[in-house]
Structure 1
């Protein structure tokens, strides 16, 4: 069945019901990137473990997520996005169960990695299905609502995590972070089975699966992300971890050679490099990578600063992100409706606002009193949230606007790989800077001042990443304004 024919398109009501199933599951997936942050202190008290294990709980999820994205997106494009969606969702629910009952920190780390793999299976199907269900301006509206959902789940994650820890207690309340995925996953499976389209258009040809290409891309992604995942800022960091970047260069070169050869012999590679010749797609990936290197890292060090540095309870530390969430949801919806008219200008405005809001936390963290600091931080993060909403959904729409629907899953996967690589690098650099400052300040009388300095240094890294995203956005805007011969 063709997904673009008006005769066999799903009814409008069912189409939007399917969209909300996809958005809801994406929300569940992204929540696990942010809500676990507030549980790290509780996990450390309950199961033990050091900075490396805690880093793996956060960044290991992103690493596994990134590894699974492209092969899963390709399988969804070639076979069935609906079936891959159900496989990923079921696996995510089972991995959450393993995390919830984990008796040791090692089992929890394994469960988180399996969660990341499952999330990487289902997320490409979400993006591919949205492209399949909507066309033209309606797609911009859909991505606007999708961006609002992602913005809410990212920013409300710490609040939800804090509430659950408050309900379950400081020792084992973190387990509720994973238990909540079980009933929600069962409900989502039932609706997905009933509503998601059973048929889709496929690209011409044999629809072969490029296994060597998938393996080489997986090795390259793993080798790039791993040294950053293992970076904690502590004295036990092994400097030899950076040799993995040599493996990344070799695997990436082999991947490019193989994909070009595979295309020359008439087969369909896992990544069509022709997609990267689309300026809208290539530039959108670069902007999203820099942006997602900054924002998850910001949520992590804000949470660590408020909980460990100021001694706030998890629920109150999480609530600081609520204004960010509300502002982000509102501007994501607005941005999705305006993007077809204003294009990349919306993204430039969004990145600038996000940078201004996060930069404003620097003087607050340095000089505000402990009583006023969380309130002031919540206020300026409202500005950052408003900017974030103007980035996520408009950039998603612009990134995929010229991509053929038959390649929607793998195109969305490659874009998501950029986001996950960005997240792993950003979290590693910002958090290791944060922890390195704490290690250097051990033994000083005023520990709060050390935490203030650590937050300031980590946030400076985050602002620099947003400056990179802004420069990329401005360059893309200038290129679009420049007339071609």
Structure 2
């Protein structure tokens, strides 16, 4: 019977301590995708600004996040994930400081974009380090815990935001949303400096940085996301913004051509298209993109409906997401332990439960009384949260299971780009549907009736996006079953 040596026990302890540093920092970045939602009303009262500025505060973060992911992931794979992690974390803390003291709405938008860039620098290193630290079943457990952390931070974000606004007051309480990142960031920097591995395995052969490929991919991502970021559903939306999609097609085609040429001359491209030939990786990205198009949009619409439509204070509107968070955390941990045995079936179950839970809010929003609506929405979101936990961590594990460790950072980055693009598109389509309904029906007798109708239409978009994720999950499950025969 073998015993674990003191050296192995110490190494294992440090490995898990490093994991929790990574998970904690990921939590900070994801919190800023959701906690700011409940602060929009407070920000509007404090700094002014219209629908476009408020949309940029939410979606501009996701846009900058998406642009920084792939180059940062590639740099981390080629150079040092630890160093890029520390650079991103420090930059995130400084950008948070700029947001906290912003005197105008324009400075706040700038700070949010810089926050997004910093988050895009550090998140690929988190995924690459988890790939580097864990193998086999232990990796599934790690991603299960990671998914639980992400689920908690996504769903508890509105609650935390509401509490901070309650403490700081309705006009300037939103500044605490950003001040909280400063002490937490300092603590994380200290632990990261001490614990994260200083060495890593690099790819063999060519290791040059594909600058042209990075620029072309960035242009393609920017051109795809920008028109959605600028979509508010208001009468002032400029239809010419959709011309950016032509730029996306051109830049994407140029990127594919360049990457293939770069590989032919013996150099390492920014994205190995061989990764996309891995069915587990390709299908996992598509499922995550559809799922993350739905869930952040759902949280934003629920928050707007409860605050503006039903008049709930920010803290109470945020607390509606607590059951989702707790259920998601529990099933993320369970899903991480079961994914190696049951595979894609776990994800199919998760997407189905998420769709059922969110669809159940539609009759509630239409027919329940104002007093009962928040309670009933919180109850059915428990079902959605349980489903969400079965999606995030199992899908993350399945997506990266066949990816070489040396490409873990860039592989995780491309997957994250899909999530951020999905978030930008989902938030834009669902929220613009919500606001367009308000603009179109402002002549109705009661504002509550308008908001109920707007919520119903916006949430229908969310349910459709989850249906897309379910179809993709079923297709991947079928392919796996056929290949296993």
Shift in alpha-carbon separation, 1:313–1:253, aligned structure 2, 3 A: same
Whole-Å Cα distance in 2 between the matches of residues 59 and 446 of structure 1? Answer: 30
Secondary structure at the counterpart of residue 349 of structure 1 = helix
Aligned to 2:385: 385
Q: Deviations over 1:311-369 (max 9, x none)?
A: 00000000000000000000000000000000000000000000000000000000000
Aligned to 1:112: 112
Whole-Å Cα distance in 1 between the matches of residues 3 and 220 of structure 2? Answer: 34
C-alpha displacement of 1:258: 0.2
C-alpha displacement of 1:168: 0.1
C-alpha displacement of 1:445: 1.9
Whole-Å Cα distance in 2 between the matches of residues 5 and 32 of structure 1? Answer: 41
Whole-Å Cα distance in 2 between the matches of residues 308 and 127 of structure 1? Answer: 37
Structure 1 moving runs of 4+ over 3 Å: 1-10
8 Å contact kept, 1:167–1:173? yes
Cα RMSD, aligned residues only: 2.5
C-alpha displacement of 1:3: 22
Shift in alpha-carbon separation, 1:382–1:79, aligned structure 2, 3 A: same
C-alpha displacement of 1:443: 2.9
Q: Deviations over 1:398-428 (max 9, x none)?
A: 0000000000000000000000000000000
Whole-Å Cα distance in 1 between the matches of residues 7 and 264 of structure 2? Answer: 37
8 Å contact kept, 2:347–2:395? yes
Whole-Å Cα distance in 1 between the matches of residues 112 and 78 of structure 2? Answer: 28
Shift in alpha-carbon separation, 1:218–1:134, aligned structure 2, 3 A: same
Shift in alpha-carbon separation, 1:231–1:136, aligned structure 2, 3 A: same
Whole-Å Cα distance in 2 between the matches of residues 69 and 348 of structure 1? Answer: 27
Shift in alpha-carbon separation, 1:6–1:134, aligned structure 2, 3 A: farther
Whole-Å Cα distance in 2 between the matches of residues 206 and 13 of structure 1? Answer: 34
Whole-Å Cα distance in 1 between the matches of residues 484 and 273 of structure 2? Answer: 22
The count of aligned residue pairs is 485
Aligned to 2:483: 483
8 Å contact kept, 2:206–2:266? no
Whole-Å Cα distance in 1 between the matches of residues 264 and 286 of structure 2? Answer: 27
Shift in alpha-carbon separation, 1:295–1:181, aligned structure 2, 3 A: same
Aligned to 2:196: 196
8 Å contact kept, 1:2–1:201? no
C-alpha displacement of 1:296: 0.1
8 Å contact kept, 2:234–2:436? yes
C-alpha displacement of 1:205: 1.3
Whole-Å Cα distance in 2 between the matches of residues 113 and 9 of structure 1? Answer: 42
C-alpha displacement of 1:187: 0.2
C-alpha displacement of 1:211: 0.1
Shift in alpha-carbon separation, 1:94–1:447, aligned structure 2, 3 A: same
C-alpha displacement of 1:442: 1.4
Q: Deviations over 1:64-113 (max 9, x none)?
A: 00000000000000000000000000000000000000000000000000
Runs of at least 5 residues in structure 1 that lack an aligned partner in the other structure: none
C-alpha displacement of 1:8: 9.6
Shift in alpha-carbon separation, 1:3–1:228, aligned structure 2, 3 A: farther
Q: Which range moves more in the overlay, 437-446 or 127-136?
A: 437-446
Q: Deviations over 1:377-412 (max 9, x none)?
A: 000000000000000000000000000000000000
